[in-house]
Each structure stands twice: as C-alpha cells, then as structure tokens.
C-alpha cells in the first residue's frame, strides 16, 4: 500500500508546475488532496486530471496573510485535519539589489516566506494535538547559494531554510516530520514569471529553466520520494550538473564559491 494512501495532503501552488505534477501523482497514490492556488479555473483542470473524487479545491491568494486563518478554518470544517502540508506556492525574482524597488522585496517575502510561516503555524496545533504530521516545504537551491540578481529570491528562500531548521528541532517530540526540498532549474514557467526591479514579470525563458532545467516529471518524482522517505533536506538536481557541483563548492570552499557567484550570470547560461 502506498505511503500516501488515504492521507490528506494539502498542496499549495497546485495550479501549475511542480505543485500541479505532484498533486496529480499523489492522487494516483491514493491521497486525499486539498489544492490551493489563485486560479479556480486552473485548479478545476488539475482536479479533473487527478480523476479523483477525493480532491478538494480552495481558490486563495496566500500573499493575503490576514485571510489565511479563515482559509485554514474553512479547510478544517469542510475536509478535516491535515496529514501532510506541502508548502509549494511561491514566486521568483530576478533583478539587482540596487535597482529593485523595496515593494518587490515585500511582495516576494509575503508569498515565499511569511505565507508559509502563517499557514504552517495555523496547521501546527492540530498536528501537535494528533501527535503526528508532516510539513514539507519547496524552497530552492537559491536558499543555499546566492548569486547576482538573486537578492530578492535568495533572501526569501534562505529564510525558509532557517525557519524549517528551527521548527524541525521544536516539533520532533511531537512526532512531526519537517522536510525541505530544494530544486535547481526545473522546466516550468517560474523563470518567465520572475519579478523584475519594478515588479513586472521577466517574460523570457532564457536563463536555463527550459534549456538546462530538469523535467518537471523527474523533479516531482524526486520530491515525492523525499516525502515518502522522510528526507530532512533533498536537493532536486541532476546527478551530474554544474549546480550540484556549486552546492558542494559552497559547502567546502566558500571562497571559491564567492568568486563563482560574482562571475555567474544566468542570462549567459540559458
């Protein structure tokens, strides 16, 4: 029997990309799904692909932090308690620190970090009461490595790693697992939708997501395996890749990593 059979799994950012693919695969593994994203039409399409009557959709903009409490109450009333929370909703950003409007930092931090903290904190009491649960968060390799034009995005993802590391230590005694999955480039539209210095989308797919990005099917399989095996932190990267090499360089040769960071340009490597 599948690890996910009859478990209630809440997937945010479920209308496209990794969230969509993970949701469809979990439905085939017998999970009862709660899907959240801003577009109801896209969620309906995902629900149809799940082919599963145990799929519940909740249209919601998670960047509206003050409404998350009501969302969680609605899910609890209509569906019940959550076994696995997959924090996946997020937005990318690509612009230099000097040129980026401060409002862009606020916008990205609201969705990428603060909404995750708020939703996790809302779900946590029921998991503590039940003495079981699993909180999985999709961060990014940018949560471990900073590079040019990534100050907005990397900040939000570094913050997630810090929060989840601390949370993991706190909830261990309550039998709650905390997992982080950190993808590198994945072939989705996230690069095109990345916010630029004034908050408008980047609009091009020229920074490696399409040409060098991991296929979303492979990435979602790795994520599902990481959840099932309760991996503390998993890097969603090809076995042999520049990004994987850069990760280990940063860990063991930080001086060299800083040289790479200041010379690396995503637009030259698309």
The whole-angstrom distance between residue 185's C-alpha and the CA centroid of its chain comes to: 13
- Domain membership of residue 181 (yes or no) is yes
Structural tokens at position 210: 């399409």
Q: Is residue 1 part of a domain?
A: no
Residue 120 lies in a domain: yes
Q: Please indicate, yes or no, if residue 44 is contained in any of the structural domains.
A: yes
Active-site annotation, residues: 153
What does pTM read for this prediction?
0.92
pLDDT in tens, the chain (270 residues): 899 999 999 999 999 999 999 999 999 999 999 999 999 999 999 999 998 679 999 999 999 999 999 999 999 999 999 999 999 999 999 999 999 999 999 999 999 999 999 999 999 999 999 999 999 999 999 898 888 899 999 999 999 999 999 999 999 999 999 999 999 989 888 888 999 998 898 877 655 455 467 999 999 999 999 999 999 999 999 877 777 888 888 888 888 878 887 777 776 554
Domain harbouring 198, CATH code: 3.40.50.720
C-alpha 91/C-alpha 108 separation (Å) is 7
Spatial distance between the Cα atoms of 216 and 214, rounded to a whole number of angstroms? 6
Residue 97 lies in a domain: yes
Domain that residue 245 falls in: 8-268
Q: Tokens 């090809």 label which residue?
A: 238
Residue 3 lies in a domain: no
For every residue of 256-269, DSSP letters joined together read HHHHHHHH--GGG-
120-151: b (≥16 Cβ within 10 Å) or e: bebbbeebbeeeebbbbbbbbbbbbbbbebbb
Look at the chain and report how many structural domains it folds into: 1
Beta bridge partners of 145: none
The tokens for 155 are: 């900040």
């Amino acid at each position: 029997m599948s690890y996910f059979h009859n478990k209630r799994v809440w997937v945010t950012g479920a209308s496209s990309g990794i969230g969509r693919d993970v949701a469809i695969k979990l439905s085939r593994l017998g999970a009862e799904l709660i899907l959240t994203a801003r577009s109801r039409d896209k969620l309906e399409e995902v629900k149809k692909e799940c082919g599963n009557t145990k799929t519940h959709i909740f249209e919601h903009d998670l960047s509206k932090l003050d409404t998350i409490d009501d969302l969680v109450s609605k899910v609890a009333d209509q569906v019940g308690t959550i076994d696995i929370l997959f924090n996946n909703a997020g937005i990318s950003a690509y612009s230099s620190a000097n040129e980026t409007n401060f409002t862009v930092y606020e916008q990205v931090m609201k969705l990428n970090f603060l909404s995750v903290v708020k939703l996790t904190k809302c779900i946590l009491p029921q998991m503590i009461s039940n003495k079981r649960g699993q909180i999985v968060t999709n961060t990014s390799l940018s949560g471990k490595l900073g590079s040019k034009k990534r100050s907005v995005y990397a900040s939000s993802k570094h913050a997630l790693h810090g929060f989840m590391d601390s949370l993991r230590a706190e909830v261990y005694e309550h039998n709650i697992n905390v997992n982080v999955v950190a993808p590198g480039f994945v072939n989705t539209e996230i690069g095109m939708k990345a916010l630029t210095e004034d908050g408008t989308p980047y609009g091009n797919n020229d920074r490696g997501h399409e040409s060098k990005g991991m296929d979303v099917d492979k990435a979602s399989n790795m994520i599902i395996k990481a959840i099932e095996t309760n991996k503390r932190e998993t890097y969603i990267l090809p076995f042999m890749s520049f990004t994987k090499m850069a990760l280990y360089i940063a860990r063991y040769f930080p001086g060299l990593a800083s040289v790479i960071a200041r010379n690396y340009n995503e637009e030259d490597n698309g």
